[in-house]
Amino acid sequence: MDEIIINRELLKAIGAESRISILKSLASGRKTQTQLAEELKLSSPTILEHLDQLVSASLVKKIDEGRKWKYYSLTEKGKMLIVPKQGIPARALLMLGSGLLLLLYSGMSLFTSSGVAPEQFAEAAKSSPSNVMVGAAANEPILNETARQVASAPAFDLNGLFIQFLLVAGIVMFCYGIYLIIKRKD
């Protein structure tokens, strides 16, 4: 069923603002008559009257699970009327694309780091102080206090930490985009 056939009963069912409000409310999931009455601030008998109209127009179905409460939910026809299918939502595409770009950038940055890593600098400074020259002639091996602190301190790579943050953000955004697509199909 890809289209809605408009007839007198359908027009009568969607002719009241209260019934449209009920359909919109049921778009978020099944509800009881009492829940709808509380949400829409209408009396329970009024809600029941509107629900009967919507059930007769095949926009809403009554779910009786043999319990005290009777639930109402949208039929496929009701879903098509209230929540038209428009393909993949733009927000989902944005999340998927942004997440994928972050994953690619951070993945490439982690695996193709260029330059000297802080660990390599610290090892070079410890093994050969002449490799670290600060403010002196090239032939004078001087290792100043700052260079010693860098050489003895544990390496902390802020750039690497930022890349890891981007990697996690990319994963989260990509998964959220997939979630939005899956949620849309339900």
Tell me: the pLDDT tens digits for 2-39? 667 777 777 787 888 888 899 899 988 899 989 999 99
Q: What is residue 43's predicted lDDT score, i.e. its pLDDT?
A: 92
Q: Is the dihedral of CA 24, 25, 31, 37 positive or negative?
A: negative
- Among candidate residues 28, 54, 82, the one where a domain is terminated: 82
35: domain CATH number is 1.10.10.10
Pair (181, 95) in one structural domain? yes
Max mean pLDDT among 56-60, 87-91, 129-133 falls in 56-60
Residue 150 forms part of a structural domain: yes
Q: What residues make up the domain containing 46?
A: 8-82
pLDDT-derived band at 126, boundaries 50, 70, 90? low
Give the C-alpha distances (Å, rounded to integers) separating 34 from 38, 41, 43, 44, 154: 6, 10, 9, 6, 63
| Domain total in the chain | 2
- Among candidate residues 82, 105, 130, the one where a domain is terminated: 82
Residue 3 forms part of a structural domain: no
Q: What is residue 140's predicted lDDT score, i.e. its pLDDT?
A: 45
Residues in the chain: 186
**Tokens read off for 9:** 């009963």
Q: Is the dihedral of CA 140, 145, 147, 153 positive or negative?
A: positive
